[in-house]
Amino acid sequence: MSTIFTRIIHGEIPARFVYQDDHCVAFLDVRPLARGHCLVVPRQEIDQWTELSSTDAAHLTKVAHAIGNAQKQLLQPKRIGLMIAGFEVPHVHLHVVPINSMADLNFALADTSPDPQDLDALCTQLTQALGAAGLD
């Protein structure tokens, strides 16, 4: 059975994509830990990040780095958190989260009903910022 991320990648479940290429996708989390929280997910369904090739791991990190810089520019948090936990969905995904403290990385505090209009606006802004940075 496909993971929820595979279903998102195949268009079976809608998502707000900020980036896509042949190897990965990035989209806004529907249960954000903080405003602008994005997930970077390989197209290939791989359970644990340690099972990625070093090339794929580097590519995901490169995309996460660009997203983090766009988040920093747009949202001006104190830091950009990067986390790979892997317990929520058995498909590698990097959390790129604008944070102001370690408490912002607490999954128990995720926003279960973010404003859809705000998510749409953030998606557009992040996509444009990534394009301007050369990550189309």
Active site residue 91: no
Cα 112 to its chain centre, rounded Å, is: 16
For 2-134, where are the E strands, in sequence order? 17-20, 24-28, 38-42, 79-83, 94-99
Q: Using CA atoms, how far apart are residues 26 and 44, in angstroms rounded to an integer?
A: 13
**Which amino acid is residue 56, in one-letter code?**
D
Residue from 37, 59, 91, 93 carrying the catalytic annotation: 93
Which residues, listed in sequence order, are joined to residue 41 by a DSSP beta bridge?
A: 25
Catalytically annotated residues: 93
